[in-house]
Amino acid sequence: MKKNFIYTLLFLFCSFSVFYAQTQEDKKEVSIAVTDILKGFQTKDRELMNKYVNPTYGVGILFKSTGDLGFVLNDEIDFTRSLGYIQKAWNIRNQFPIQFNTTYEYDVKNLKWKKEGLSVQFNSNTVNAYADQFLPQYSVKDQEIFKINSNAKNVVFVTLAENSKEKAPINGFRFVMTKIEGKWFLTFIDVTEYDAE
């Protein structure tokens, strides 16, 4: 009996250690990817950003137009193309350290973040929540880019909440990363805070 108890404790300890190690490894990999993606966007370095775009799935741009949610799917990041209805990339300062599982609220009325910072949220259900908002005639849940994001355990939502000192269509930068075959990829850029009319 005592022997079984010791084996059970040992098994639980090992299981916890493996889980913790995977979580720490994910945090490390995601931190590197987030830093690279933000630096790539800040410096308009498409090669650095495209290193994180999966060639099979591409990168989706989520946007709003007159209140309706829409998206376009691109093979890669190309700063000569628009991001949804936003005609060009905007400037970010990217000066904040990563805060895990912190949320930042956007003030739609005043078009700015209530508090600034950089948040990385693991186990995010963001893409599923967006998929539910599309008009019924768009079967986005059947598209591969949405299917690979259906399991929240493989999804990270990143928010760089910073308010621009100049007039800009977007403040900060939001994107989704997805773990595909053991590697983290940039799968969506979220520009839904800017509603093109």
Tens of pLDDT, residues 16-35: 333 343 478 999 999 999 99
Which two structure tokens, joined as six digits, stand for 137?
């005639």
According to the model, what pLDDT value does residue 196 have? 63
* Dihedral sign computed on CA atoms, order 55, 155, 30, 63: positive
Dig out the tokens for 24 from the structure: 């720490």
The residue ranges of every structural domain in the chain are: 2-196
Burial class (CB in 10 A: 0-12, 13-18, 19+), 157: buried
pLDDT score, position 94: 92
Task: Report the C-alpha gap between 102 and 123 in whole angstroms.
Answer: 13
pTM of structure: 0.85
Per-residue pLDDT, 23: 74
The residue behind tokens 């093979």 is: 75
pLDDT of residue 8: 44
Per residue in 82-139, pLDDT tens? 887 787 788 999 999 999 988 999 988 888 899 999 999 999 999 999 999 888 777 8
Of 106-110, 137-141, 142-146, 165-169, highest mean pLDDT: 142-146
Contact 176, 158 (CB under 8 A): yes
- Is residue 153 within 8 Å of residue 121, measured between CB atoms? no
**CATH dotted code for 2-196:** 3.10.450
Q: Check pLDDT > 70 for residue 197.
A: no
| Residue 187 or 2, more confident | 187
* Distance (Å, whole) CA 45 – CA 34: 14
